[in-house]
Chains A and B, each alone.
Chain A
Amino acid sequence: MLIVDDSLIIRRTIERAVAKIGGYETRSAEDGAAAMRIFEDFKPTIVTLDITMPDMDGLACMRAMLERDPSVAIIIVSARKEKATAVEAVKRGARGFLPKPFSESDFREELADVARRKGG
C-alpha cells in the first residue's frame, strides 16, 4: 500500500492501522513527485491519496496512477465538506473516500470496503 500525505500525523495513523490489520507492505510519500516515483517501483495495489495537498494536483496524480495501473484501488483523503472534489475523484475512478479527520477505525472500515470490492 502506498500512503501519500503531507501530514505526518495522518501517515502515522494509517501506517499504524495497516500494521494492525497486517498483510500489507506500506510505503509513504510526502508529495506527488515522490508518490509517482514510488508508485512506479513499488506497484502498490492500494493507494491512499490526500487530494488537499497544496503542492500537488491530487486528481492529476490519481489519473497518472490509474493510467499506469487501471486496477489500483485509490482511496482519496479530503476535507469533510469538500464533496465536490470527492464526487469528481470518484467519477474519475477513486474507489474509497476518507474525510478528514478520521480515526484508525474509520480507516479500517474503508480499507475493508475497498478490498472487498476489489475482489468482486
Chain B
Amino acid sequence: MLRSLRGGRLVAFAMLVIGFFVGTVSTIAVSAISAEIAAVSNKSTTDELLIGDERALASSIATDVVELQHANDRGQSPEATRAELVRVAGVFDDNLRALGHGGSVRLPSGNSVAIEPLGGDKVVGLMKTANDVWAHAYREIREEDTYATLAGAQVDRLASVVTHDTNEVAATFNELALAIGTDAESEIDELTARRTFFTALAVLSVLLVLGAIFNRIVIGGANIRRYSVQLGGLLERFSAKTSELFEAKRETDLIMSTVSQGLLLVDTTGVIAPQHSDEVRRIFRTEAIAGRTFLDLFRPLVPDKTLSVLTDYFALLQDPDRSDRLLAKINPFEELEVNFASAAGGFESRYLGVVFRRIYAPGGAVARIFIAVTDSTASVEFEKKLRAVEQKKDRQFGLLLSIINLDERSLDDFTSTVREQLDAMNEALRAEDFSGKARPAGLTARLETLARAAHNVRGNAATIGLDVFVRDCETFEDHLGELKRHAAPGGDAFLGLLLVLANLRQHLEELVELRSTLSVVRAEARTHAPAALHARPVDFASELQVLASAIGRTLGKSVSVRAEALDLTPLESVQRRALMDVLIQLTRNSVVHGIETRDLRVQRGKPPSGTIVIASAIADDAYTIEYRDDGAGIDLERIRKRIVAQGLATASAVETMTESQIIATIFEPAFATVSDHASHAGRGMGLDMVKETILARLDGKMSVDSHAGRHLYFRFRIPLKILAPQPS
C-alpha cells in the first residue's frame, strides 16, 4: 500500500502541476480572447457606425445636390450650396479613403477618430466598389467648378449622377455594414469558441487541481484515519496503563493505610521519602514525617546518650563494608524504650522495635534504607507480665511443695507468727528515721526489733522448710546489717526495707491462699474417701513417715516412723482426726526438737537414724496410744531457763520445781504461747494443743516421760465410752 501511495502521490503531484499550468494559461487565454472579442465587437460596431455615418453623409450629398438643383431652379446662387457640397464631398472622400486605408475619420459631431482600415475580403471588395462609384461621383462634383455657368441640365445631370452614385454607394455601404457585421459575428463566434475551449481547459485544470487535492485528501484521509486508529490504539493502551498505575497506587495506598507496621524509606542522609505507611504517623504521634530525617523523629523521645548511639548506628548503616548480619546483631533500635510527653504533664513509656534493610545501588554503595517500625509495647509488657507470672508460679509451686506435707495447724501457727512479726516490723520501721540527716535517737533499738522479728520469722520458716520466707528474711537482715553501720540512713535504705516487707507480705498472702486451697482439697479428699483412711490405718503411718522424712531432710536428720501397731479404726472419725493431729504435732516436735542430727547421734552412740514408735491398744474401757521417740528428750535446763525468762517463776522457785512440775509447765498455754525470739521453736511446741485435745476434747488422760538425751515418751488414755460402738 505504501508503494501505491507513493505512485499516487506522484500522480497527484503531476495533476497538481499540470492543473496549475494549464489553468493559468487557459485563464490568460480566456481573458485575452475575451478582450479580443470585445475589441472586434467594438470595432465592428464602430465601423458600422462609421459606415452608417458615411452613408448619412452620402445621403446628405445627395440632398445637397438636390438642393443645388432646386436652388438652380429657383435661380439662386449655388455657391454656398456648392461649396457645402464640395466640402461635404471632400469629407466623405477623406473618410472613405480612411475607411479603406486607415487614417482619421471625421465624425458628424466634428471630432475625428483614427481608425484601422476595414478588413475582410468581402468588405475590401465592397469598398472598392464604393470607391469606384464614388470616384465617379466625386469627379463630377469637383469638376463642376463653373457653377455659375451651370445649366440646369448640367445640374440635373450632376444631381442624377450624384444621386445615383450616392445611392449606390449607400447601398454598397449597407452591404458593407452587413458584411462588417457578419464578418465580426463570425469572427466573434470563432473567438467565442476558442474562448469556450480555453474556459473548458481552465475548468478542467481546476478539476485537476481539485482532484489532486482531493486525492491527497482522500489518501491523506486514509492515512489520517490509519494514524488516528493507531493513535486511538496508543491512547487506549496508555489509558489502560494509566488506570493500571492508578489501581496499583490505590492498592499501595490501601496497604500503606492498613499495614500494622510503620514502613518508610530513607536516603543516605536519613531523609524520609513521602511514601510511607499511615502507621508511621500513629507510632510517632506526629503528622510531620516526610522530609524530616529519621533520627529527628527520635530526638524528642530518647535521652541524648541514646540518641548519640542511634546516630552512630545510622552512620554505620551507610557503610556498605559493614556486614548486614553484624549490623542486625548490634541494632540498638531493636527494642528501644521511648518516652512520649503525655497530655497530663507526665510521660508515657512505650517500646519501639525498628529493623533496617539496606538497598544497594548497582555500584555497591548503599542507596536507600527500608525501615519497619513496630510499637511493641504490648508484647514487651506481655513478656514482662509473663515472666512475673512464671516467677510467681515457680514460687507458688515451691511453696506448695513445701507445705504439702505440713499439717494445717503448723501452717496456721506459722501464718499467725509471720503476721505478728510483720506488725511488729511495721511498727518499728518509721519513715522519719530515714531522713538522711543525723542518726535519730532510738533507731538502734528499733533496728534491733526489726532484726529480732526477721530472725524469728526466718527460724519458723526454716523449721517447716518454707525457703521463700527464709530468703526474704535473709535479704532483710542483710539490709539491716548494712544500716547498722550507716551514720545517717537515707530514703533509699528505707525503701529497700519496705520492699522486702512488701514481698514478705505478698508471699504470706500466697501462702494463705495456697493453704486454704489445700485444705479444701484435703477436706474433699477426706469426705470422699474416709473409707480409705478407715480401711488402711497403715496409710496414716505412711503420712507420718513422709512428714518426718520431709522435715528431717531440711534439717539434716533422718527419722523413721514405725506405726505398725497403730490402729485408729475403733475411733469415731472426729476423734480419729483429733488424735491424728496430735500425733502429727508430736512427730513434728520429735523431728524438729527431739531427734538429733546424724552426726550428733553417732557422737552420742545412737544409731544415726532416729526412730519414732507409735502403738495403740484397747484394754477394758480404755483406748491407749503410746508415742515414743529416741531423741534427746526434754531439756530440763533449757525449760528452767525459759520459765525464768518468761517471768513465769523466779530463778529460785524454778530450782525447787520437780521434774514433773517442769515438764507440766511446757504444756501450759502461757508457756507455749510466748514466742521465744532466741530459740528456733517459734511458737513453742504446740503441746498446749496436745493437752487440750487429749484432756478436754477426748476426755482422756496423758502422761509424759522424758529421759534427757535418750527418749521422750507420751501415753494417752481415752475412755471407751467416747469411742465408736465396737463391731461385734
| A positions within 8 Å CB-CB of B | 83-84, 86-88, 90-91, 95-97, 99, 113, 117
- B residues in contact with A88, CB < 8 Å: 309, 312
- B residues in contact with A97, CB < 8 Å: 326, 329-330
Going nearest first, the 6 A-B pairs with the smallest beta carbon separation are A83-B332, A86-B330, A84-B309, A97-B329, A87-B313, A91-B312
| Cβ contacts B115-152/A at 8 Å (1 or 0 each) | 00000000000000000000000000000000000000
- B residues in contact with A91, CB < 8 Å: 312, 315-316
- A residues in contact with B316, CB < 8 Å: 87, 90-91
- A residues in contact with B326, CB < 8 Å: 90, 95-97, 113
A87 engages B312 (CB within 8 Å): yes
Within 8 A of A (CB), among B262-298: none
Q: How far is the CB of A29 from chain B (nearest CB, A)?
A: 24
Q: How far is the CB of A83 from chain B (nearest CB, A)?
A: 4
Q: How far is the CB of B326 from chain A (nearest CB, A)?
A: 6
Give the complex CA separation of A29 and B92 in angstroms.
Answer: 159
- A residues in contact with B315, CB < 8 Å: 91
- A residues in contact with B327, CB < 8 Å: 90
Is B408 positioned at the interface, with any CB of A under 8 Å from its CB?
A: no
Residue of B nearest to A116 (CB): B323
Q: How far is the CB of B153 from chain A (nearest CB, A)?
A: 158
Give the complex CA separation of A97 and B313 in angstroms.
Answer: 14
A113 engages B325 (CB within 8 Å): yes
- B residues in contact with A117, CB < 8 Å: 323
Is B331 positioned at the interface, with any CB of A under 8 Å from its CB?
A: yes
Is B322 positioned at the interface, with any CB of A under 8 Å from its CB?
A: yes
* Interface of A (DSSP majority class): helix
Give the complex CA separation of A65 and B593 in angstroms.
Answer: 65
| Cβ contacts B306-328/A at 8 Å (1 or 0 each) | 10010011011000001101110
Residue of B nearest to A99 (CB): B329
With contacts A83-B334, A87-B330, A88-B309 known, what are 15 further pairs, Cβ within 8 A? A83-B331, A84-B306, A86-B329, A86-B330, A87-B312, A87-B313, A87-B316, A87-B332, A90-B330, A91-B312, A91-B315, A95-B323, A96-B326, A113-B323, A113-B326
Give the complex CA separation of A113 and B324 in angstroms.
Answer: 10
A-B contact list, 18 entries, CB within 8 Å: A83-B309, A83-B330, A83-B331, A83-B334, A84-B305, A84-B309, A86-B329, A86-B330, A86-B332, A87-B316, A87-B330, A88-B312, A90-B327, A91-B312, A91-B316, A95-B323, A96-B326, A97-B329
A87 engages B309 (CB within 8 Å): yes
- Most B C-beta atoms less than 10 A away, residue of A86, A95, A99: A86
Q: How far is the CB of B335 from chain A (nearest CB, A)?
A: 9
- A residues in contact with B306, CB < 8 Å: 84
- B residues in contact with A113, CB < 8 Å: 323, 325-326
Give the complex CA separation of A109 and B316 in angstroms.
Answer: 21
Residue of A nearest to B331 (CB): A83
Give the complex CA separation of A96 and B327 in angstroms.
Answer: 9
- B residues in contact with A95, CB < 8 Å: 323, 326
- B residues in contact with A83, CB < 8 Å: 309, 330-332, 334
- A residues in contact with B323, CB < 8 Å: 95, 113, 117
Q: How far is the CB of B337 from chain A (nearest CB, A)?
A: 11
- B residues in contact with A87, CB < 8 Å: 309, 312-313, 316, 330, 332
Residue of B nearest to A120 (CB): B321
Give the complex CA separation of A90 and B309 in angstroms.
Answer: 11
Q: How far is the CB of B310 from chain A (nearest CB, A)?
A: 8
- A residues in contact with B313, CB < 8 Å: 87
Q: How far is the CB of A80 from chain B (nearest CB, A)?
A: 10
Give the complex CA separation of A95 and B305 in angstroms.
Answer: 23
- A residues in contact with B322, CB < 8 Å: 90
Give the complex CA separation of A113 and B326 in angstroms.
Answer: 9
Give the complex CA separation of A117 and B305 in angstroms.
Answer: 31
- A residues in contact with B332, CB < 8 Å: 83-84, 86-87
Residue of B nearest to A78 (CB): B330
- Most A C-beta atoms less than 10 A away, residue of B323, B325, B326, B332: B326
Residue of B nearest to A92 (CB): B312
Q: How far is the CB of A113 from chain B (nearest CB, A)?
A: 5
Residue of A nearest to B325 (CB): A113
- A residues in contact with B325, CB < 8 Å: 113
- A residues in contact with B330, CB < 8 Å: 83, 86-87, 90, 97
Q: How far is the CB of A16 from chain B (nearest CB, A)?
A: 22
Q: How far is the CB of A101 from chain B (nearest CB, A)?
A: 14
Give the complex CA separation of A117 and B330 in angstroms.
Answer: 17
Give the complex CA separation of A117 and B326 in angstroms.
Answer: 11
Give the complex CA separation of A14 and B18 in angstroms.
Answer: 103
Residue of A nearest to B329 (CB): A97
Q: How far is the CB of B4 from chain A (nearest CB, A)?
A: 67
Give the complex CA separation of A106 and B174 in angstroms.
Answer: 143
Give the complex CA separation of A97 and B305 in angstroms.
Answer: 21
Q: How far is the CB of B313 from chain A (nearest CB, A)?
A: 5
Within 8 A of A (CB), among B169-184: none
Give the complex CA separation of A90 and B327 in angstroms.
Answer: 9
Give the complex CA separation of A113 and B327 in angstroms.
Answer: 12
- B residues in contact with A84, CB < 8 Å: 305-306, 309, 332
Give the complex CA separation of A84 and B313 in angstroms.
Answer: 9
Q: How far is the CB of A19 from chain B (nearest CB, A)?
A: 24
Give the complex CA separation of A88 and B305 in angstroms.
Answer: 12
Give the complex CA separation of A83 and B322 in angstroms.
Answer: 16
Residue of A nearest to B305 (CB): A84
- Most B C-beta atoms less than 10 A away, residue of A84, A87, A88, A117: A87
- Most B C-beta atoms less than 10 A away, residue of A84, A88, A96: A84
- A residues in contact with B334, CB < 8 Å: 83
| Cβ contacts B411-435/A at 8 Å (1 or 0 each) | 0000000000000000000000000
Q: How far is the CB of B315 from chain A (nearest CB, A)?
A: 7
Residue of A nearest to B323 (CB): A117
Q: How far is the CB of B7 from chain A (nearest CB, A)?
A: 69
Q: How far is the CB of A82 from chain B (nearest CB, A)?
A: 10
Residue of A nearest to B333 (CB): A83
Q: How far is the CB of B376 from chain A (nearest CB, A)?
A: 15
Q: How far is the CB of A66 from chain B (nearest CB, A)?
A: 15
Give the complex CA separation of A99 and B326 in angstroms.
Answer: 11
Residue of B nearest to A80 (CB): B329
- A residues in contact with B309, CB < 8 Å: 83-84, 87-88
Q: How far is the CB of A77 from chain B (nearest CB, A)?
A: 12
